[in-house]
Structure 1
Amino acid sequence: MAPRFSKLSLAILALAGLNFSAPVFAQSGSSATLEEVVVTARRREESLQDTPLAVSAIGSDMLEQMGISDIEDIETLAPSLQFSQTNYKAPAIFIRGIGQRSGSPGLDPGVGMYLNGVYVPRSDAQLLDAIDVANIQVLRGPQGTLFGKNNIGGAILVDSKKPDPEALEFGVKVAGGSFGRQEVKLDSNVPITDSLAARFAANVKRSDGSIENVTAGNSLFDQDRMAVSSRVMWYATDEVEVDFFGFLSRIDERGSPYNCAFQNNGAILTQGIYRDANGATLEEACDYSSSIASQFQVSQNGEDAVYAIDNHMAALSLRFPLAGFDVESITSFAMQDNIRLSGDSDGTYIHAVQVGPDAGNQVFAGAGLTPPKAQREQMSQELKFNGLAWDDKLNYTFGIFLSQETLDNTLDGTDVGDNGLVAVGPSAAVDLGLPVPIPNALVLPVQANTALLADYTNRTAAIFAQGSWDVREWLQLTVGARYTEEEREAKHMLITPDYEEYANRLNAQIGTNPAILLPVTHVMDGIYSPVTQAQYLAYSAAEVPLVFGEPLRGSTTFSQVTPNLTLNFLATDEMLDTFGLDSFIAYATVSKGFKSGGLDVRNTQTESTLQQFEPEIVLNKEIGFKLDAIDKRLRLNVAVFQMDYTDLQVALYERGATQTEVVQFTGNAGEAVVDGFEFELTALLGDFTVTANASYTDGDFIEYMLGTNTADGFAIVDRSNEAFPQVPQNIRGLVVSYDWDSMFGRIVPQLQYYYSDEIFIGTDYLSGNYDSSTISQYELFNARLNWEFNENMALTAYVNNLKDDHYFVGGIAVTSVIGVANRVPGTPREAGLEFSVKF
């Protein structure tokens, strides 16, 4: 597929031809050293190389150099970090194999996302634009002591740039390239007084999409996003700061592309006769999707996948001294609305099954109804005290965290066939438990739409404390603990068709079409008496009358203490001189992580109940070291870890209480062990800069016994031999750049390499039986050429996926119910230009 360049790209080229001021040259690479990186992983500012934690820090310069404008793009720069593509476009974030691939609003994400210290509670709202970012820190392993929420897998901290009352600045960046990419980013720093300043930034992205949908006449992986941020700081005194931050983003895009791989012809949905299929079966449509995958094409129903959400956030931070403490207060409010999320669960041009909030909208629309508007709100308050004692040998932090999150009118749904109308033939009807077999010439009409309307209230209260004691010049001991209480309330209303009335509406068409001859009656669940296939195809899909069930209400409370113990060895000056090092630390950590349980609806063969799932617990054991050497031209950070994982929360698909219902619910899987190691290397070799990272993550289920609805009834299934889902075992990344200070300015060519191992994408007890539930390993090569005319102006050309290789980045296999594996393709070769100027 040939790259397409927009008019914006040509405008950049025209700007590049203008006469600029004389270039300003950077320091020669031969005398350069690695900069000191300041992180806040322990809720105070300290050098990265002095912090006894596995943390990756990516500054604004690196983000610009790599052309990163989405948070998910940092995946290639930090070991053990995975932005996994599953059911919706919003990725599920995993660190060291721990995350949460379900977007269910009843579940907390496994990896915490913080924007200027404010926790982002929902995984589908974590896909943030990297707008006006000062740095991004990736903290690996459970962060159960100091952060606003317990983060069982790790945390990602995104900090925006602080306003400067001494500098008036304005910057513009424009970009254009393949697949209609157009992007404009604006940022400014405005001094107001000697102690008051503000920053404003805006980012707008548009693209047509890189994966062609041959059925719908459009492309997926499109972009239609806008983000605006503002930050105002009043430096009242040298020690008192008042910091206000506001953020708004809007996303309105098509959903993820899927290439379908057919798996299980025994799944009830694969046996459906679909009215928009032109005689094709789901297996044939799936095989066609597989056949065009290598051309970066999909064949999906144009209405079944959407990703739209608005994010609003405001926070007020106060920093001031009090009674010998440095105090920080963070008060925040966040809201998400205009939520339309859904996935094309069959991944074909047939409208077989769509799931998610937007599928719920379709179920309501099919009944001639409008659902109530979904809205989420979160308020939080954190108060943190930092202090010193014992002649500054003890550095300690303590505080409280409170939050309340309400999710009103949360909608989920399953929209099957033509507004729920599908049919099954005689061979499929054998398993439905009918009193007599049906003749070969007839089919059974089925009505299979369902929806769920829910309200959630989540409250968190925590107290925490941690202290680091310099026992000796070369030895530091850190001890911390957090006590957390989580209160969960839920109200679920199941919405199902009125099957008897639906039969009346089908029968009302008799006589209006000569092909419709036989009346139908409701037999069981959503299944009706047999008719000819010609009559079934002649029906107009009637409005589906809905029955709103009695609300299922419940509440539960969880509490947990999560301690942390770290022993940190710091090399003395004599040791550094002996081994020729500039700095060296080694550390050993034992920490505990906790993620709250909750309530979810579970349908068995006999009833629907609101059942509790338990919290996840992780015990993390880790050792590591960090060093700088060769006059700070070499940096190497290494960590080795083992995590004992209990009561894993897993999202499962199964047949529901009826023969026609598809249910997603949350359960606890038992125990697992995750072992691994990771390293990060940065080296300055003359004018070359080499940055490398690698990780190995090996997850094994020790106990994985789950009760599930199978084709033979409810059964306990042992799944302990399954592969660990959604996480590659090996990840490697490499970036090599060369600084050339020429007479025309600074020119920096850069090559990036990334490798990901195979990934298991199965969800249910049958997925592990099929090779297509595992996507293959892949590698990518990207190239960039940056030309800095001077310190204020730069032009960059880039080519991603240089080899134009086809690959899959993730997916989801729902084998027992839908019978397919949907694999998300990677982006083909794309090229473009970026131009930036500062005033």
Structure 2
Amino acid sequence: MATSVVHARLAATVSLLALSLGAPALAQTTPPAEQATTVEDIIVTAQKREESIQDVPVAISAFSAENLDAMKIEGGSELLRAVPNVSFSKNNFSMYNFSIRGIGTKAISAASDPAVAVSFNNSPLIRNRLFEQEYLDVNRVEVLRGPQGTLYGRNATAGVVNMIPNMPGPDFEAFLKAETGNYGSMRGQMMVNIPLTDTLWLRAAAGLTKREGFDHNTFNDTRVNGRDLYSTRLSAAWEPSDRFNVNLIWEHFGEDDNRSRTGKQLCATDAGPSSVGGIAVTSETLRGRMSQGCRPVSLYDDAAYGVPNGAGMSQIYLGSAFSLVGMFTTPLPATRKGFTFITPDVDPYAGLTQSRNLREISTSYDPIFRAENDIFQLNINYDISDSLKFISQTAYSEDSYYSSQDYTRYVTNEIFNDSSKIYNRQGVLTPHPMTPGGFYNDPQLGLSNRMLSVDLSKSENNQIYQEFRLQSSFDSRFNFNVGANYMKFKTQDDYYVFSNLFSFLAEAYYNGASSNRIPIECTSTSSIECIYVDPNRLSDINGDGHNYFRSKNQVETESWAIFGEAYVDVRDDLKLTVGLRYTDDTKVTTPYPSQLLLGVWSLLGYGPSSGGKVSRGYPADEIVKQNWDALTGRAVIDWKVNDDLMVYASYSRGYKGGGTNPPRADIDPTVIQYMPLASTFDPEYVNAIEIGAKGQYFDGRVRLNATAFYYDYKDYQVSQIVDRISLNENFDAKSMGLELEGVYQVTPNFRLDANFGLLKTKIDSGEKSIDVMNRTQGNPDWMVLRPWLQVPSNCIAPKKYVEKILSVPSTNQWNALTALCGGSARSGSFTPDITTNFKFYEQYGFTYNPFKDAENAGKGFYADLSGNELPNAPRWTANIGAQYTWFYGAWEATIRADYYKQANSYFRVYNTEYDRIRSWDNANVSVSIENASTGLRFGAYVKNIFNDTSIVDAFTNSDDSMLTTNVFVTDPRLFGVNISKSF
């Protein structure tokens, strides 16, 4: 964004505030006598004991319910506006990436853990919906920045987000709130707190939100990306004595709407070369074989709103090559070529473009989004003595998730031919049973004459967590906090991609369609190579089909730890904190290789031409058991300079477990040889040094906290899609930065607050990775080619060999180019270590083994990552807010404005122009009028005043998805008015 635009936006925001602050001359502005002039203190449990936020030697931001409401932070995704050096985005599948100081969850795997530990009332939750649901009856939210290797332990290498709900109390309370706004928004919340006896109290809260979609689907003329969600919480507290209390919580969240998991899909069309070495390439299909589909350009370039080059898609080529001999579109055919279901050499995307409106898609399939989450928590607190407390915390959670959407979000050209009026040689009308209604009828996606593709991301998981702690409050110079915990987490994550081309190929080539028969039913004992086609609709699939891609992942994680912290008052103004934690993690992964369009060993002696081993279902490979143990912790020295200023210095070490990469296809290596990839990834470790100061000045009217930090990170986990899986890689990195948080209570009426984060991340020297968007790294002697159907990833090949193939006129050029990627276009046995077995090329005058003769077995040349920035690590973030309150007798009116901005960042480790996420900003304003004596309150707000649509993150899809890019964007301008009543 240009500097002038930023200045204009700041001026507009400040002008709005100035206009509101000019009103005091028209009204009585003297605050009530009890109105404070000092900054309000917040009590936090960052060290799992109640302390003033200013006394905790940890970089922490905390927000009361009133703070959250004033800033219109209605869920975890919006916390980035209030916390320095934080970024947030949904990811491509079922989770999200909440980054603190450039460290987040860039590893995508069922076996990966978040780097920011998300907790509900101090219980960590590996899977949760705390960043999709809206806050309900919240006491406060705490965000701890930096490794929390002692008390919070595993998965806290970046920090902790802890949501603390309001608990039942001894007094009757009730609250009702109703809201309406744009996009047909309707929102409601309620709470009631009932004391049943002097020692037993109940509290219930509920909230719901309904909103029409933010985005427009122009093909169906529907609104999508809407919200229909609700939350309920029931809690009970029993306090029979001052020394003993118990509370029990159940929280349920549900969502059932058309939320889009990802945004628009961008692509700069890669047309492929028009010539190679002076040899003209006139065939669009051959150009497609030498095209990636999409080329890497800035996501902000007009070219990014194109579509892939589909001419080189193997499934199109193979589908158009299938014809029904002796079947014709007229009773007296002029030719004897036979009927083809798919037009030969068709590009399903030819001539198409996309709207530049990021809130506009075009699809025949509207998104489906469903999620449910339940959390049960039992807390027991027992004061063994006046200075010794025992705490038990038990938590159980279940989470289910189902999200389906169009895989591309744009409609293709018509590619299927009408088979309802085809004739046999005798001129008899003979419709084909595979295409009732005239066009191919996919069992999951239905009838269409276009190419359809839909994905489905779903997960089912549960977790149990138990923690015991013993903490002291001695009236001496020594105290401690010791404990142990146990966690067991089970998950099954499934990701599907459905395509009517996949199903068509399965039925046409393998299952008897060429004989004009209904496809055969495949079993594990089928006597011919057979691909099982799931006959059920998408909403009721059996999961055994080989006509769709399925990545099935089952992981069980078991972890236990013992930990302790000691607090020593070296002297009255100097305290030493030392903490250690021993963690033992075990992960058991059951890998299920994918089976897309693979068949069985033929029992008729013809060999496994498709490379498959089973005809139906997803047999598991051997389980993979991984175990790590880690010693983490921290040492802190803090000095109370005076009553208003504390400075501290700390060293901390954090750890996050490793895991397994998802399994690839179950291909027989004697038919198709995969390029080698790592099957596991390593744990992360971080050593962090931090210095900070927390101070209050001018009689408590100003609070200013500052932090500087340095990270030495080992094996940071980052993934990209390779061979249809999320390949997780490890990189060492350094990170350093500065954070400032300030609050200025100018007068009892007027408050200013701001935060600023400065961040510099750097990947260590010598780190490298293959960039799927640029496999040749500019080497002019090599070029990218598309592989055969069963080979998922593109490869590089010597340009000189491509020239030789193109110089020999042949109908087999397509296969020859494909074979340079090590595909199945060859005859005879295949042993990749023996170059002479690649005799397919002898007709072109050369021999070539891609697994021996190409760089990295044909995967490509490494990109040097030395000095690159980590993804989702903007150089700086800043927020400034101001609010003013007028007092009119029993009434008070408050206006607040907030402005947030973050700098440029990258969404991948390669730091190319394609990877750049431009800086973006956000401005909000809210107004409230409240009568404290009656509990009546009226409110109004506008979020994203300038109605910006900013890209906040992106995700590069697989090679066989043509390297398209899914983008994630901010919400549009939202406004609403509400009324609430407290009792």
TM-score, normalised relative to structure 2: 0.68
Instruction: Report the residue type matching 2:51 in the other structure.
Output: E
* Partners of 2:92 and 2:262 within 8 A in 1: no
Paired position in structure 1 for 2:477:
393
What is aligned with 2:931? 789
Q: Which of 752, 756, 776 is 1:694 aligned to? A: 756
Residue aligning to 2:707: 639
Equivalence for 1:673: 734
Q: What is the aligned counterpart of 2:873 among 711, 727, 731?
A: 727
Question: Are 1:591 and 2:652 counterparts?
Answer: yes
Give CA-to-partner distance per residue, 1:142-177, whole Å, 9 cap, x none: 111002644111001111112111x11111111110
Q: Conserved in 2, the CA contact under 8 Å of 1:498 and 1:546?
A: no
Q: 2:461 aligns with which of 369, 373, 376?
A: 376
Amino acid at match of 1:752: D
Q: Secondary structure at the match of 1:648?
A: strand
1:569 lines up with 2:639 in the alignment:
yes
CA distance in 2, matches of 1:609, 1:525: 19
CA distance, structure 1, for counterparts of residue 744 and residue 566 of structure 2: 33
Question: Does the CA-based 8 Å contact 2:465-2:485 persist in structure 1?
Answer: yes
Counterpart pick for 2:684 among 591, 616, 630: 616
Is 1:56 paired with 2:121? Answer: no
Q: CA shift at 1:721, angstroms?
A: 5.3
- Counterpart for residue 354 of structure 2: 288
Q: CA deviation at 1:799?
A: 1.4
- What aligned pairs does 1:745-760 form with structure 2 within 5 A after superposition? 745-760=891-906
In 1, Cα distance between equivalents of 2:406 and 2:714: 32
Task: Report the counterpart of residue 553 of structure 1 in structure 2.
Answer: 623
User: SS at 2:764's partner residue?
Assistant: strand
- Tell me, yes or no, if the aligned pair for 2:94 and 2:457 is still in contact at 8 Å: no
Task: Spell out, residue by residue over 1:400-446, the C-alpha distance to the aligned partner (whole angstroms, 9 max, x if none).
Answer: 010111124x31233346455589xxxxxxxxxxxxxxxxxxxxxxx
Counterpart position of 1:233? 237
Secondary structure of 1:752's aligned partner: strand
Distance (Å, rounded) in 1 between the aligned partners of 2:231 and 2:703: 35
Contact kept, 8 Å, 2:484 with 2:563, in 1: the verdict is: yes
Whether 2:120 is the aligned partner of 1:121: answer: no
How far apart, in 1, do the equivalents of 2:130 and 2:34 lie?
41
Paired letter, 1:188: V
Shift of 1:663: 2.4
Q: Which position in structure 1 is the counterpart of 2:719? A: 651
Q: CA deviation at 1:367?
A: 12
CA–CA separation in structure 2 for the residues paired with 1:644 and 1:463: 25
Pick which of 305-314 and 704-713 moved more: 704-713
Deviations 1:608-633 (A, max 9, x none): 98822110011111111010111111
Supply the AA of the counterpart residue of 2:477.
K
CA contact (8 A) 1:33 1:684 kept: yes
Kept after mapping to 1: 8 A contact 2:246/2:378: yes
* Structure 1 residue 125: Cα displacement: 6.3
SS of 1:72's partner is helix
Distance in structure 1 (CA, Å) of the matches to 2:677 and 2:755? 47
User: Could you report, residue by residue, the CA deviation over 1:638-662 in whole angstroms, capped at 9, with x for unpaired residues?
Assistant: 10111111111112112x2xxxxx2
Partners in 2 of 1:283 and 1:727 — Cα distance? 37
CA distance in 2, matches of 1:136, 1:342: 31
Deviation at 1:132, TM superposition (A): 0.9
Which whole-Å CA distance do the structure 2 matches of 1:232 and 1:30 have between them?
33
**Which residue pairs with 1:413 in the alignment?**
496
Aligned partner of 2:768 among 697, 705, 722: 705
* Structure 1 residues 393 and 468: CA distance shift in structure 2, 3 A: same
The residue that corresponds to 1:802 in the other structure is: 945
Deviates more, 1:714-723 or 1:546-555: 714-723
1:705 shift after superposition: 2.4
Question: Does 1:66 pair with 2:209?
Answer: no
Structure 2 letter corresponding to 1:727: A
- Asked if the contact 1:125–1:309 (Cα under 8 Å) also holds between the matched residues in 2, the reply is no
User: Residue 247 of structure 2 contacts residue 379 of structure 2 at CA under 8 Å; is this kept in 1?
Assistant: yes
Checking the alignment, whether the CA contact within 8 Å between 2:664 and 2:725 is kept in structure 1 is: yes
1:299 aligns with 2:384: no
**Matched residue count:** 721
Give the SS at the match of 2:205: strand
Return closer, same or farther for 1:476/1:372 CA change in 2, 3 Å cut-off.
Answer: closer
Distance in 2 (CA, whole Å) between partners of 1:143 and 1:363 is 51
How big is the alpha-carbon RMSD for the aligned residues of Structure 1 and Structure 2?
3.5
Q: Secondary structure at the match of 1:97?
A: coil
2:679 partner SS: strand
Q: Does 1:483 align with 2:544?
A: no
Partner of residue 152, structure 1: 157
Q: What are the within-5 Å matches in structure 2 for residues 86-97 of structure 1?
A: 86-88=91-93, 90-97=95-102
Report the CA distance between 1:336 and its aligned residue: 1.2
TM-score by length of 1: 0.79
Code of the residue aligned with 2:955 in structure 1: it is I
Query: Does the CA-based 8 Å contact 2:878-2:901 persist in structure 1?
Result: yes
Give the drift of 1:397. 0.4
Would the alpha carbon gap of residues 419 and 498 (structure 1) be closer, same or farther in structure 2, given more than 3 Å must change?
closer
8 Å Cα contact 1:138-1:156 kept in structure 2: yes
Deviation at 1:698, TM superposition (A): 1.6
Distance 1:392 1:415, change over 3 A: farther
1:102 CA displacement: 4.6
Q: Distance in 1 between matches of 2:97 and 2:350?
A: 28
Matched, 1:683 2:751: no
| Structure-2 separation of matches of 1:240 and 1:815 | 56
Structure whose residues are more often strand by fraction: 1
Is 1:333 equivalent to 2:396 in the alignment? yes
Assess if the C-alpha contact under 8 Å between 1:773 and 1:813 holds in 2.
no
Task: Return the match for 1:211 from 212, 215, 220.
Answer: 215
Q: 1:813 aligns with which of 956, 965, 968?
A: 956
The C-alpha deviation readout for 1:541-597, integer Å capped at 9, x for no partner, is xxx974534434110101100020111011135xxxxxxxxx100111110110011
State the Cα deviation string for residues 461-513 of structure 1 (Å, max 9, x = none). 1000111111011211111010000000011212314546999xxxxxxxxxx
Q: Is the Cα contact below 8 Å between 1:125 and 1:311 reproduced in 2?
A: no
Are the equivalent residues in 1 in contact too, given 2:176–2:191 (CA < 8 A)? yes
Mapped to 2, the partners of 1:585 and 1:171 lie a distance apart of: 39
**Deviating 4+ runs (over 6 angstroms):** 274-280, 607-610
What residue identity is the alignment partner of 1:329? S
**Counterpart amino acid of residue 90 in structure 2:** Q
Structure 2 distance, partners of 1:69, 1:84, is 15
1:267 equivalent in structure 2: 292
Q: Is the 8 A contact 1:553 1:610 kept in 2?
A: no
| Distance (Å, rounded) in 2 between the aligned partners of 1:586 and 1:407 | 43
**Higher mean C-alpha displacement, 264-273 vs 187-196:** 264-273
Q: Is the 8 A contact 2:402 2:457 kept in 1?
A: no
What's the secondary structure of 1:674's corresponding residue? strand
Question: Does the C-alpha gap of structure 1 residues 48 and 592 become closer, same or farther in structure 2, counting only changes over 3 Å?
Answer: same
Greater gyration radius: 2
Structure 1 unaligned blocks of 5 or more: 1-22, 353-361, 424-446, 504-520, 527-543, 574-582, 657-661
**d(CA) in 2 for partners of 1:732 and 1:372?**
35
Counterpart Cα distance in 2 of 1:454 and 1:57: 37
Quote the residue 2:194 is aligned against: 190
Whole-Å Cα distance in 2 between the matches of residues 552 and 784 of structure 1?
Answer: 57
1:31-53 deviation line (CA, Å, top 9, x unaligned): 52212211111111111111100
Matched residues in 1 for 2:653 and 2:409: separation? 40
In 2, are the aligned partners of 1:88 and 1:307 still within 8 Å (CA)?
Answer: no
Residues 448 and 264 of structure 1: is their aligned pair in 2 closer, same or farther, counting only changes over 3 Å? farther
Q: Work out the CA distance in 2 between the residues paired with 1:333 and 1:25.
A: 50
Between the aligned residues of both structures, percent identity stands at 23
Matches of 1:306 and 1:759 in 2, distance apart?
31
